[in-house]
A and B are shown apart, each in its own frame.
Chain A
Amino acid sequence: MAVTQPRRNRRKLTHEPGFWGFLFICPWLIGFLCFTAAPMLTSLWLSFQKYDLVSIKYVGVENYRRLFFEDPLFWKALKNTIFYAVVSVPMGITCSLAIALLLNQNVRGQKIYRTCFYLPSLVPAVAASLVWQWVFNADNGVLNTMLRMVGITGPQWLQDERATPWAFAIMSLWGVGGARMVIFLAGLQGISDSYYEAARIDGANAWQCFRAVTLPLLSPVMFFNLILGIIGSFQIFTSAYVMTGGGPNHASLYYALYLFQNAFEYFKLGKASAMAWVLFAILLVLTMIQFRTSKKWVYYEGGDK
């Protein structure tokens, strides 16, 4: 990091680099205060009110108490979301990494492959939901037809509450897989060839190269994808909203969907605000844990830049 400028007393403010730095980040800071911080505080205040858009009444922590102790659906939604995150994030990261590794093999027509893998993230939600209903159709959908070919009877993906969480996890591979793959690819192409050459001179095979060179050098990218992946998975909303509406039997009732229902279908804005803050707190803690543990496995080339 840059060496801190020695402090010179009594200099003009405009000569102070710190002043300029602050000035440069001001656009973001102003936007943050107006469009993020102030609304957040408003919603924090709302979370202590009983508010149905017409009447507003201070109720203390009642919204939170009801969420934690009297609302089984809150826990159900939280459980669904955690399951989704736990399954979809590692699965998605592994698949995207595998694709990125393949694409990094200097293959011909790379541009076309990259576009192919990125395509699903470009399909708008309206069209995508129709597509997925067609893929997951239990009777003659693509997925079950393929499973039948290898002798497996596929489940009723979107009707069976045991299968639905998996269906959503599989879907996530397509939706965000492309963007993740691009980020991995960027990371892979940033790894200097000299490392591989050195490894090969030492007699390493392809797998050893991957373990000793690729993985450690890719760990910052992995970390980045992990953080964004977890945050993204906690906010899953559109696919469930459009495709299943939370069913069957609340199997796809995800946190953001339940929050949305409370706010915009039941007009429980106090409760919804409380839910939003609980979600924010969970994500904050998760991210902090990740940053803490990252020191053990994330390797930064050249150390402190």
Chain B
Amino acid sequence: MKKTYRHGHPAARTIVYALLIIGAIMFTIPFVWTIATSLKSGEEFATDPSRILPKHVVWDNYHKAWTALPFSRFMLNTVFITAITTLASVVSGSIVAYGFSRFQFKARNFLFYTMLATMMLPGQVTQIPVFMIWRELHAIDTYYPLIIPAFFGGGAFNIFLMRQFFLSIPKELDEAAMIDGAGYVRIWWQVLMPLSGPVLATVALFSFLGQWDNFEGPLIYLNSPEKYTVSIGLRMFQDSFGTNFEQVMAASVIHILPTVILFFIAQRYFLRGISLSGLGGR
């Protein structure tokens, strides 16, 4: 970890810690409530929902939530989709970022700005036409509509992050490799990629989180229940004839847990991967 400036006074440090702890509690309360509710009995939630901690801990909600729907199947599907899209985003995105960061060509800046502009495109603009395209390709009720887009760069934000990181890698390294006879593909793979661990991890984490939580995509494109993902399963607990909140919460905890663990582990790469100096067209 990088050393940063410290306040010398113990009093100042006490204030810093106090603020951090208060803030951390405020930010974790919703999560704590989610877990606490997942451990309550349905009756307790219905009769005394304002109480935070359960009177009697009911682990059974987890078992019920898991077995009420074929959750192991959903989990497997989610892992499958997420793994492929994450991998594809990292590889294809880094290729595109390499193109944007290391080469001069006609309309490069125009294309780069266009790419940035797509970040502000409201999803609803393209929703119906894109759906029609997949239908024409007979890809409804397959994983293709969820997976294929990741092979085309995996989103403007990811490409942007990687481009910024590549810009911070000295160009002299490329040139040295070129003198050694390396081609552009080899420079990408053997010079840039090995130095880009942090940003690759960051992009992988973002893609992972995005796909793991993706609800609209699976909802729109998947029909058969055996292809469903966890996020759809989660929504199926809610119904007009009364929601079993405690089971929704238990399922939510199961759903979040992998992302929390992943974030906890990956965060040391995370910060180093985000390099935003020279933002914009520079």
Contacts and interface: CB of A to CB of B under 8 A. Distances in A.
Interface residues of B, number: 95
B24 A117 contact: yes
Given A23-B99, A189-B2, A209-B5, A300 B277 contact: yes
Contacts of B277: 190, 220, 300-302, 305
Contacts of B100: 21, 24-25
A49 interface: no
Contacts of A283: 120, 122
A273 B215 contact: no
B120 A256 contact: no
B117 A22 contact: no
Given A25-B99, A107-B16, A300-B282, A99 B5 contact: no
Nearest to A171: B30
Contact of A287 (B3, B13, B105, B117): B117
A193 B3 contact: yes
B126 A119 contact: no
A43 B129 contact: yes
A212 interface: no
Interface in B153-176: 153, 159, 167, 171
B267 interface: yes
Interface stretch (A54-62, A69-77, A108-116, A154-162): A108-116
B274 A183 contact: yes
B251 to A, nearest CB: 9
A137 B264 CA distance: 32
Interface residues of A, dominant DSSP: helix
A124 B210 CA distance: 11
Contact of B111 (A29, A186, A231): A29
B67 interface: no
Contact of A134 (B49, B124, B278): B49
Nearest to A22: B105
A197 B114 CA distance: 41
Interface string A194-235: 001000100000100100000000001101100010010011
Nearest to A109: B20
A190 to B, nearest CB: 7
A102 B30 contact: no
Interface string B1-44: 11111110000010011011001100111110110010000000
The contact size tier of chain A is 35 or more
Interface residues of B, dominant DSSP: helix
B278 to A, nearest CB: 4
Q: Give the most central of B255, B264, B273, B278: most A CB within 10 Å.
A: B278
Contacts of A119: 27-28, 30-31, 260
Contacts of B6: 105-106
A159 to B, nearest CB: 17
A28 B122 contact: no
Contacts of B2: 189, 193
B238 to A, nearest CB: 7
Contact of A31 (B124, B152, B263): B152
B149 interface: yes
Contacts of A182: 267, 270-271, 274
Interface string B192-234: 0000000000000000010001010000000000000001001
Given A21-B102, A27-B92, A126-B252, A43 B128 contact: yes
16 contacts: A18-B104, A24-B184, A25-B99, A28-B152, A29-B111, A35-B133, A112-B24, A122-B263, A123-B256, A126-B237, A130-B245, A135-B29, A182-B267, A189-B271, A234-B122, A283-B120
Given A17-B103, A107-B16, 14 more contacts: A2-B102, A20-B103, A27-B96, A27-B152, A40-B126, A105-B7, A119-B28, A122-B209, A127-B252, A186-B274, A189-B2, A283-B120, A300-B277, A300-B278
Interface of B: 1-7, 13, 16-17, 19-20, 23-24, 27-31, 33-34, 37, 49-50, 92, 95-96, 98-100, 102-106, 108, 111, 114-115, 117-130, 133, 149, 151-153, 159, 167, 171, 184, 188, 209, 213, 215, 231, 234-235, 237-238, 245, 248-249, 252, 255-256, 259-260, 263-264, 267-268, 270-280, 282
